[in-house]
Amino acid sequence: MSNDSRFTRRHFMRFCATTAVLAAGADPGAFAESDARLRRYERVKLVDERDRPITAATLKVGENYLFYYPYVATPCFLLNLGKATTAASLQTEDGQVYQWNGGVGPHRSVVAFSAICAHKMSHPAREVSFINYRHQPATFVDAHDNTAQRGQVIYCCSEKSVYDPVNGARVLGGPAKQPLTAIVLEQDKDGALHAIGTVGGEMYDKFFERFSSRLSLEFRTNDIRKLVTGAATVKPLVAYCRNQILC
């Protein structure tokens, strides 16, 4: 499929969504580019390095997995938290309220989030990652300036933003002003996991603007905005990134 046809399809889906809103008499601005509700991208199957489907059962509890979605250069964490998640009503920095419906799999314990920090967009690169999932207890300063300790957090050591993946990647502490963008997952009848879109405050335009040169070199393409189609390969973060900075 050409890039043009991919964009045509995406825009067509947005057009359909907008048309549905207009038909319902809702605010047409509600489906603007910055809308925090479900944005559907390509439905992409998650596979391992041998193209075998990823299911909840194939994900080790506590392992920090990485894949790229919805674009070829935008990293996401995939996590089996090993505990139940709870749906959450969340808010973006510009005040848009959205609903995160929890994970998938047993106890809804499998979740995915953009690995681009909502503060200054620190993200995993081949040489180093300052943002990581911490299954074991980590110490941080919470939103009330108290020292807190807990596991199952996503911790960005750049300026110490901490997110709660059990609760939609809500901000627990640090300078980030909104949750990480959530990747919406679906399970098919065989248990295979698929990514279908995002909810929450996307930062992709800013991300591409700021990091385009480095991303082009790292991904050996000028088309860093190419959408992922078909399948996305999931690997442990350690298999992708040489150094992980933990704080």
Site membership for ligand FES, residue 156 (CB under 6 A): yes
Site membership for ligand FES, residue 93 (CB under 6 A): no
Distance CA 87, CA 85 (A): 7
Span near ligand FES by CB under 6 A; candidates 64-72, 107-115, 119-127, 194-202: 119-127
Distance CA 125, CA 214 (A): 9
Q: Please identify which residue in 96, 99, 158, 229 interacts with ligand FES, judged by CB under 6 A.
A: 158
- In terms of phi and psi (left: phi > 0; alpha: psi -120 to 50; beta: otherwise), the region of 220 is left
Distance CA 224, CA 104 (A): 29
Specify the 3-state DSSP secondary structure of 241. coil
Q: Please identify which residue in 80, 114, 161, 181 interacts with ligand FES, judged by CB under 6 A.
A: 161
Contacts (CB under 6 A) with ligand FES, residues 15-34: none
Alpha helix (H) residue ranges in the chain? 3-23, 204-219, 237-240
Instruction: CB nearer to ligand FES: give 31 or 155.
Output: 155
Instruction: CB nearer to ligand FES: give 62 or 175.
Output: 175
Instruction: CB nearer to ligand FES: give 4 or 145.
Output: 145
Site membership for ligand FES, residue 181 (CB under 6 A): no
Six-digit token pair at 97? 């309220």
Query: Residue 225: how many CA atoms within 13 Å on its side-chain side?
Result: 13
Distance CA 77, CA 67 (A): 7
Would you mind telling me the total number of residues written for the chain in this entry?
247
Q: Please identify which residue in 105, 124, 174, 200 interacts with ligand FES, judged by CB under 6 A.
A: 174
Site membership for ligand FES, residue 114 (CB under 6 A): no
Q: Please identify which residue in 7, 93, 128, 159 interacts with ligand FES, judged by CB under 6 A.
A: 159
Question: What does R_g of the chain's alpha carbons equal in angstroms?
Answer: 17
Q: Please identify which residue in 37, 120, 226, 235 interacts with ligand FES, judged by CB under 6 A.
A: 120
Span near ligand FES by CB under 6 A; candidates 57-65, 67-75, 86-94, 171-179: 171-179
Instruction: CB nearer to ligand FES: give 118 or 232.
Output: 118
For strand 231-233 and strand 39-47, is the pairing parallel, antiparallel, or unpaired? parallel
Distance CA 34, CA 17 (A): 14
Q: Please identify which residue in 92, 122, 132, 167 interacts with ligand FES, judged by CB under 6 A.
A: 122
Site membership for ligand FES, residue 85 (CB under 6 A): no
Specify the 3-state DSSP secondary structure of 60. coil
Report the interface residues with ligand FES, using CB under 6 A. Answer: 117, 119-120, 122, 156, 158-161, 174-176
